[in-house]
Amino acid sequence: MPVKVQPRGAEALFAEEVPPFSSEDEALFEAERCLLCGGKEAPAPCVAACPARVDVPLFIKQILERDHEASGRTIFAANVLGGTCARVCPVDELCEGACVLHEEGRRPVAIGRLQRFATDWVLERGLEYLERGRPNKRSVGVIGAGPAGLACAAELAKLGYRVTVYERDPDLGGLVTRAIAPYKQHIEPLPQEAERIARLGVEFRLGQAVGESPTFEELERRHQALFLGIGMGKDVEVRWEGDDLEGVYESLPFIEELKLGDPRRLRIGERVAVIGGGNTALDVAREAVRLGAKDVMILYRRTEEQMPAFKKEVKWARKEGVHFYWLVAPKRLRGTSRVEGIECLYMRLGAPDASGRPRPEPVPGTEFVLPVDTVVKAIGQQPRTEVLKLIPGLELDGGLVKVDPETLQTSNPRYFAGGDCINGGATVVQAVRDGKLAAAGIDHYLSSGRG
Ligand SMILES: Cc1cc2nc3c(=O)[nH]c(=O)nc-3n(C[C@H](O)[C@H](O)[C@H](O)COP(=O)(O)OP(=O)(O)OC[C@H]3O[C@@H](n4cnc5c(N)ncnc54)[C@H](O)[C@@H]3O)c2cc1C
């Protein structure tokens, strides 16, 4: 789908990578391709592959019946961020990857674009699709207004709970607002989806960093149960000599500036090196191409097969002109005031490390210098251990919150958790799934009189 990015600059940065259908007819034409498989006995493969369990054949059937409102309702009933997920989900890895049309050697149904069609239909017409349950007087505090927190809050309000969401930032959406590539989703439709959640009676308290003000003790006095949806923290700190030079960035502040601030302030140069092999590194590289860099390269210390990034992202980045250096690690950055070069070293794979993957080991004497004027470190995010350790009895595993896999209850029974703070960083739809599961876990815990 993506082609050589032309023109460059803000226009390219915000131009949608996967555009919506241009007409109702186009959507109907695509919907016709669906075999509407699955049934009561066994869900369709696309439904089984969706962490939020959206009933894909049903919503496509409703589009075919021209009942687009019902179609949108079907999606939002399973996923309160159905419009956002229609834009940002890695569909190749999930629903579309499981489409039975693959077996016939045909292109899968464009489920993401159809989901966008139906959800846009409902949102653009201002239709309501969420209903508050009969109030039950119990109160739950949700910490973090990212996808996990929003989904948990909505599901609890649907069950009649009084819900207050505490968010450290001045805006809602977590990484959807601050980090997801602007050519996938800039801001909309998340604010519209959050507005529906607020109309269920959910109270949002923005600019409140729980742990500092209010404290966890205060929240424990206010609420019978608490949900932790605080995501992950800053970029992992890896220091190299010279990384305080001008033109060297951490990935998250870099993306936030180009998405919510002023891309021109980044002063991106012509030759950009991105260090890392995950989806964030791929996003940064593709964003740098759109910002106008002439030569964008990704340096990864393992091989292509071991890259955690989604295959489709790698394919699209290549098509857009991004170069990949495999088995290469930085040693030091060179320059006087601004970075001018990156000294690298070749690696080879050794014995397996703690993750079970072969450990990359430096090959002595293989140093070489790549001339660059911008370097972005995209190595991953750190857990928010400093906040989590304030909660009494909360067990962590490598900084991630340990939970019961079915109820998402933590080792402190009043706390439940979901999203990136339990999985280390996954997808929006996975966070939505966790928010739903935890809401059911909280409901069970409080209904059984244990809260
Ligand atoms: C660069 C990048 C690109 C991505 N692209 C995609 C993509 O295209 N598709 C996709 O599906 N996923 C993508 N993801 C992953 C996705 O954004 C996350 O998996 C998802 O947002 C996790 O949701 P969450 O609610 O667990 O955490 P977050 O989205 O991180 O939200 C956590 C919220 O908690 C708040 N918070 C933290 N501490 C406190 C506190 N003490 N008190 C109050 N509030 C607090 C934070 O401010 C934040 O708003 C991307 C991630 C990154 C980094």
CATH code of the domain in which 50 resides: 1.10.1060.10
Please report the atom of ligand 1 found closest to the CA of residue 429: 11
Is there a single domain that holds both residue 203 and residue 289? no
CA 149 to centroid of ligand 1, rounded, Å: 10
Pocket test for ligand 1, best of 428, 432, 433, 437 (most atoms within 8 A of CB): 428
Q: Based on the number of CB atoms within 10 Å of its own CB, is 179 exposed (0-12), middle (13-18) or buried (19 or more)?
A: buried
For 158, other C-beta atoms within 10 Å of its C-beta total: 17
Domain contains 55? yes
Which residue, of 321, 354, 377, is where some domain finishes? 377
Is residue 397 domain-shared with residue 364, that is, in the same domain? no
Please return the burial class of 362, using the count of CB atoms within 10 Å of its CB with bins 0-12, 13-18 and 19+: middle
Same domain, 168 and 199: yes
- Atom of ligand 1 at shortest range from CA of 166: 43
Residue 8: pLDDT band with limits 50, 70, 90:
low
pTM tops 0.75, yes or no: yes
Distance 321 CA to ligand 1 centre (A): 28
How far does the centroid of ligand 1 lie from the alpha carbon of residue 186, in Å? 15
Query: Ligand 1, atom 8: nearest CA belongs to which residue?
Result: 88
Region 348-357: mean pLDDT is 86
- Pocket test residue of 175, 219, 228, 384 for ligand 1, highest count of atoms within 8 A of CB: 175
365 and 387 fall within a common domain: no
The DSSP-derived string for 191-256 is HHHHHHHHHTT-EEEET-BTTTBS-HHHHHHH-SEEEE-----SBP----BTTTSBTEEEHHHHHH
User: 365 with 253, same domain?
Assistant: yes
Q: What number does the ligand 1 atom closest to the CA of 232 have?
A: 30
Please indicate, yes or no, whether residues 163 and 187 belong to a single structural domain of this protein. Answer: yes
Instruction: Check residue 363 and give its pLDDT.
Output: 96
Ranges 240-249, 255-264, 333-342, 379-388: which has the least confidence: 255-264
pLDDT, residue 1, reads: 44
Q: Does the structure show a pLDDT above 50 at 263?
A: yes
One domain for residues 353 and 388: no
Predicted confidence at residue 38, as pLDDT, reads 87
Query: Which residue's CA is minimally distant from atom 27 of ligand 1?
Result: 231
7-34 burial, b for 16+ CB within 10 Å, e for fewer?
Answer: eeebebbeeeeeeebeeeeebeebbeeb
Q: Is residue 44 part of a domain?
A: yes
Q: Please choose from 180, 193, 390 the residue to mutate so as to test ligand 1's pocket, defined by most ligand atoms within 8 A of CB.
A: 180
Examine the fold and report which residue of 356, 377, 398 is the final residue of a domain before the chain moves on.
Answer: 377
Give distance in angstroms: CA of 264 to centre of ligand 1: 25
Residue 397: the pLDDT is: 96
Side chain identity at 212, as an amino acid letter? E
The Å distance, Cα 298 to ligand 1 centre, comes to 23
Q: What's the rounded mean pLDDT across residues 380-395?
A: 97
Same domain, 424 and 400: yes
Over the stretch 293-335, which tens digit does the pLDDT of each residue have? 999 999 999 999 999 999 999 999 999 999 999 999 999 999 9
* CA–CA–CA angle 59, 60, 61 (5° rounding): 90
How many structural domains is the chain composed of? 3
CATH number, domain of 357, equals 3.50.50.60
Cα separation, 126 vs 120, in Å, equals 10
107 shares its domain with 45: yes
Q: Which ligand 1 atom sits closest to the C-alpha of 428?
A: 11
Ligand 1 atom nearest to CA at 85: 11
The ligand 1 site (C-beta within 6 Å) comprises: 88-89, 143-149, 166-169, 174-176, 179-180, 184, 209-211, 229-231, 255, 279-280, 283, 384, 387, 419-420, 425-429, 431
- What does the pLDDT read at residue 269? 87
Which pLDDT tens digit goes with each residue over 359-370? 999 999 999 999
Note whether 230 and 383 are within 8 A (CB).
no
Residue 419 domain-assigned (yes or no): yes
**pLDDT reported for residue 116:** 98
Report the C-alpha gap between 382 and 400 in whole angstroms: 10
The rounded Å distance from CA 420 to ligand 1 centre is 7
Of the candidates 422, 418, 447, 423, the one whose C-alpha atom is nearest the C-alpha of residue 435 is 418
Atom of ligand 1 nearest to the CA of 378: 1
Same domain, 104 and 145: no
Residue 307 lies in a domain: yes
- Do the domain assignments include residue 5? no
299 Cα to the center of ligand 1, angstroms: 25
What is the Cα–Cα distance from 341 to 344, expressed in whole angstroms?
9
| Predicted pLDDT of residue 39 | 81
- What residues make up the domain containing 150? 139-233+382-447
Atom of ligand 1 nearest to the CA of 89: 11
Decide if pLDDT at 5 tops 90: no
Atom of ligand 1 nearest to the CA of 430: 19
The CA distance from 234 to 288, in Å, is 21
Contact call for residues 374 and 412 (beta carbons, < 8 A) = no
What pLDDT does residue 3 have? 44
Q: Which atom of ligand 1 is nearest to the CA of 212?
A: 41
Give dist(CA 284, CA 273) in Å, integer: 10
**What is the per-residue pLDDT for 354?**
81
Query: Given phi > 0 = left and psi -120 to 50 = alpha, else beta, which region is 108?
Result: beta
Domain boundary among 377, 408, 438: 377
| Unique residue bearing structure tokens 């002063």 | 267
Q: Tell me the torsion sign for CA atoms 332, 375, 318, 252.
A: positive
Q: How far is the CA of 427 from the centre of ligand 1 (A)?
A: 9
Nearest CA to ligand 1 atom 20: 428
Q: Are 144 and 177 in contact (CB under 8 A)?
A: no
Reported confidence tier of residue 451, pLDDT bands at 50, 70, 90 = low
373 and 253 in a single domain? The answer is: yes
pLDDT, one tens digit per residue, over 32-81 is: 999 999 887 889 999 999 999 999 999 999 999 999 999 999 999 999 99
Residue 206 covered by a domain: yes
Reported as a single tens digit per residue, the pLDDT across 96-151 is 999 999 999 999 999 999 999 999 999 999 999 999 999 998 999 999 999 999 99
Span 395-422, pLDDT tens digits: 999 999 999 999 999 999 999 999 999 9
Domain membership flag for residue 2 = no
Tokens (6 digits) for 169: 């930032």
- 254 with 365, same domain: the answer is yes
pLDDT of residue 9: 66
In a domain, 414, yes or no: yes
Q: Which residue puts its alpha carbon closest to atom 10 of ligand 1?
A: 427
User: Chain-wide mean pLDDT for the chain?
Assistant: 94
